[in-house]
Amino acid sequence: MSKKVLYSYTGIFDTPDEVTHAAEKAVEHGYTKYDVNTPYPLHGMNKAMNLPPSKLGYVALAVGLSGALGALLSLWWVSAVDYPINVGGKPFFSFPAYIPVIFEVTVLSASIATVLAMLFFFFKFPNNAHPLHATDYMKKVSSDKYGISIQAEDPKFDESSVKNFLESIRAKEINAVYWDEEETAHNHKILEPKFLTFLFVVAVLISGTTYFTLNKLMNMLPFNWMMEQSKQSAQQKSLVFEDGFGMRQPVNGTIARGFLPYEFKGKPDLAGEKLVNPILVSKESLKLGQAKYDIYCSPCHGYHAEGDSRLRGQFPNPPSLHSEKVRTWGDGRIFAVITEGQNIMPSHSTQLTVDERWAVINYIRALQRALNAKESDLK
């Protein structure tokens, strides 16, 4: 309670001329830790106080240049590397078109950085705890008076000589300003445990609620309204048609291209007699046949049609297709087996189109011929 720490001695002037003069005198006297407080900037005060030029211009220059460079690099990376889109045949990296954005980014980054640097690094703001606050002196210099304050930190500071000095320059209301005891006693530090806990609680609360609202409450897909269109979708009840079916039946008797009805249902032998393979043996048709055979037939009949299925007894082994019987069958007869199935072999009419079935048959013929080659084939 007893020990008040002195911050400075202050004096007030009525005119700008006087305070400029006072500043000049303070410099003459060799004071360095002093300040002049005026309600608005005074012309010539920098010279009177002998202040070095402000360094904030360098901040603006450095941040502005890096902003420009950063913008250029990211535009290049985004539009030429990460996500190149062809816009009207312009080059991916089209510098002239980037100038507006680069300019804006430069201005934005430099302006923000300069102001932040001034307030927080040069002035060390916010600082409402400064001893000059809440004094009569501050009340006056904030409005219509001009003041000088010589700080106790100054190496030349000495209570009586400073008072004399202020009197000699005809300052009025010479007063001592003390540090606020509460402020000095209570050393606010950023790393105080209380403050850290507070920060931690805030962090947990904010991230927790954000997670909860975004992921639990409003589990929203980013672009979901494309799915919610006012149109009839498959399997939906129709409000328009009398029968209530959303999906319409084709007109009676309509036949889809490539899906001619099969005439020999239940008459495989007749099919063997009447049906003719329309697909000529060619490299392409054999290739297609092989592909389809390997996919659809080989699991049971084996790659070489020898009945050596890969199912290893989990399904009754099918017969070999190299039997005398199948070899002498007409193509139409095999077509009937594929289309309708035979006993436990299922129909493949939904998996294979008509043309593909014939191609598979051509391939089977090739396999059969490979095992039972004639003398003439060897030539």
Which of 140, 145, 301, 322 is close enough to bind ligand HEC by CB under 6 A? Answer: 301
Which one, 139 or 287, has the nearer CB to another protein?
139
Q: In which element (H, E) is residue 327 found?
A: helix 324-328
167 binding another protein? (CB under 8 A): no
Q: In which element (H, E) is residue 209 found?
A: helix 193-211
Which of 4, 57, 198, 204 is close enough to bind another protein by CB under 8 A? Answer: 57
SS3 41: coil
50 binding another protein? (CB under 8 A): no
318 binding ligand HEC? (CB under 6 A): yes
Stretch that binds ligand HEC, among 101-109, 253-261, 281-289, 336-344 (CB under 6 A): 336-344
342 binding ligand HEC? (CB under 6 A): yes
Is the CB of residue 296 less than 8 Å from the CB of residue 341?
no
Which of 22, 48, 63, 321 is close enough to bind ligand HEC by CB under 6 A? Answer: 321
Residue-by-residue DSSP string for 114-156: HHHIIIIIIS----TT-TTTTSHHHHHHTTT-EEEEEETTSTT
Stretch that binds another protein, among 119-127, 190-198, 199-207, 288-296 (CB under 8 A): 119-127
Which of 6, 21, 163, 281 is close enough to bind another protein by CB under 8 A? Answer: 21
CA separation for the pair 134, 159 (Å, rounded): 22
Count Cα neighbours of 250 within 13 Å in the Cβ-side half-sphere: 5
**C-alpha angle 207/211/213, rounded to 5°?**
120
Which of 325, 347, 355, 373 is close enough to bind ligand HEC by CB under 6 A? Answer: 325
Which one, 103 or 245, has the nearer CB to another protein?
103
Site string for another protein, 77-96 (x = CB under 8 A): -xx--xx-x-x--x---x--
297 binding ligand HEC? (CB under 6 A): yes
CA separation for the pair 20, 12 (Å, rounded): 12
**C-alpha angle 168/174/175, rounded to 5°?**
145
70 binding ligand HEC? (CB under 6 A): no
Is residue 176 exposed (0-12), middle (13-18) or buried (19+ Cβ within 10 Å)? middle
Which of 12, 148, 152, 360 is close enough to bind ligand HEC by CB under 6 A? Answer: 360
Q: How far is the CB of 297 from another protein (least distance, A)?
A: 43
226 binds, among another protein, ligand HEC, none (CB under 5 to 8 A by kind): none
Q: How far is CA 306 from CA 298, 319, 336, 364, 367, in A?
A: 10, 7, 20, 11, 10
DSSP secondary structure letter of residue 374: -
User: How many residues belong to the site for ligand HEC (CB under 6 A)?
Assistant: 22
266 binding ligand HEC? (CB under 6 A): no
Which one, 19 or 338, has the nearer CB to ligand HEC?
338
Which of 69, 73, 97, 247 is close enough to bind another protein by CB under 8 A? Answer: 97
125 binds, among ligand HEC, another protein, none (CB under 5 to 8 A by kind): another protein
Q: How far is the CB of 166 from another protein (least distance, A)?
A: 17
Which of 67, 348, 365, 367 is close enough to bind ligand HEC by CB under 6 A? Answer: 348
276 binding ligand HEC? (CB under 6 A): no
Count Cα neighbours of 83 within 13 Å in the Cβ-side half-sphere: 3
115 binding another protein? (CB under 8 A): yes
DSSP secondary structure letter of residue 201: H
- CB burial of 306-319 (b: ≥16 within 10 Å; e: otherwise) equals eebbeeeeeeeebe
Q: Provide the token pair at 5.
A: 């720490």
Which one, 170 or 265, has the nearer CB to another protein?
170
Which of 8, 10, 37, 339 is close enough to bind another protein by CB under 8 A? Answer: 37
CA separation for the pair 337, 364 (Å, rounded): 13
Count Cα neighbours of 112 within 13 Å in the Cβ-side half-sphere: 6
Tell me which residues touch ligand HEC (CB under 6 A).
Answer: 296-297, 299-301, 315-316, 318-319, 321, 323, 325-326, 334, 337-338, 342-345, 348, 360
